Amino acid sequence: MINLAERRAASGPVIQMAGVNKWYGEFHVLKNINLEVRSGERVVVCGPSGSGKSTMIRCINRLEEHQKGRIVVDGIELIADLKQIDAVRREIGMVFQHFNLFPHMTVLENLTLAPMWVRNTPRKEAEDAAMAYLERVKIPEQAHKFPGQLSGGQQQRVAIARSLCMKPKIMLFDEPTSALDPEMIKEVLDVMIELAQGGMTMICVTHEMGFARTVADSMVFMDGGEIVEKAPPTEFFKNPKSERTKLFLSQILH
């Protein structure tokens, strides 16, 4: 029913979720999630709060453990195996709502930490790469400051650069702009758009519909722990199939 083949038909799925279920105690947070993301695909996930969006993407790098179903990332299945989990996490970068920079390290140390300790990159090399990414997010001059000295928008751009330093194949964004003051949202979205145009596989949980229209290949709408609808943005915004989607869009787009 959904035709994804119009773009990059040749590339295979890099993330596959099949029949994924998760409960918090009695509460069923994820109900039979089936989702495939192809290499280079940009997916925007939206839905009301508490619909399971964050939980779903946090399952993809095993910050949350799913209890039923299967998740395969880049050919590696997520099972109770530390090697596998480490391998998956090396492939996936994640950006959080509250940045989660390490406040006791400078920006540069934040960026070089994982390459040096996980990828065993020599310091010089790691720092050069880090500076290059800081240039890309347009704040190389902040390299020696501490996170607490930066604005929210700058911190979030550092967080993106920090993830990129691990050269991930996939980037997850968990509401990257919702903790930001309005005037800082654009600078973060610009970086994300540039990243998308560079061909990165991305899954973004966000309510920035302008961003979704610009970059998304497909829109996923979640409600009550289920994927209600998945469609290309044009179709999604013009004639949503489900009543729930219509209601949500009418609330969010005014």
Which residues of this chain interact with another protein, rule CB under 8 A? Answer: 1, 12-13, 16, 18-19, 32, 34, 36, 61, 63, 70, 72, 75-77, 79-86, 89-90, 92-94, 96, 98, 100-104, 113-114, 117-118, 146-149, 159, 162-163, 166, 172, 226-227
CA atoms of 38 and 9, how far apart (whole Å): 9
CB nearer to another protein: give 115 or 233: 115
Sheet holding 218-223, edge to edge: 92-95, 170-174, 201-205, 42-46, 218-223, 226-231
Q: Residue 132 — φ and ψ, nearest 5°?
A: -60, -40
CB nearer to another protein: give 175 or 209: 175
Shortest Cβ 68–another protein spacing (Å): 11
Q: Which residues contact 140 (CB under 8 A, 6 or more apart)?
A: 131, 134
Shortest Cβ 125–another protein spacing (Å): 17
Encode burial over 57-92: b for 16+ CB neighbours within 10 A, e otherwise: bbbbbbebebeebebbbbebebeeeeeebeebbbbb
CB nearer to another protein: give 98 or 136: 98
CB nearer to another protein: give 47 or 147: 147
CA atoms of 140 and 109, how far apart (whole Å): 13
Shortest Cβ 210–another protein spacing (Å): 27
CA atoms of 91 and 23, how far apart (whole Å): 26
CB nearer to another protein: give 153 or 209: 153
Shortest Cβ 226–another protein spacing (Å): 7
CB nearer to another protein: give 79 or 252: 79
Shortest Cβ 86–another protein spacing (Å): 6
Radius of gyration of the chain (CA): 18
Shortest Cβ 186–another protein spacing (Å): 24
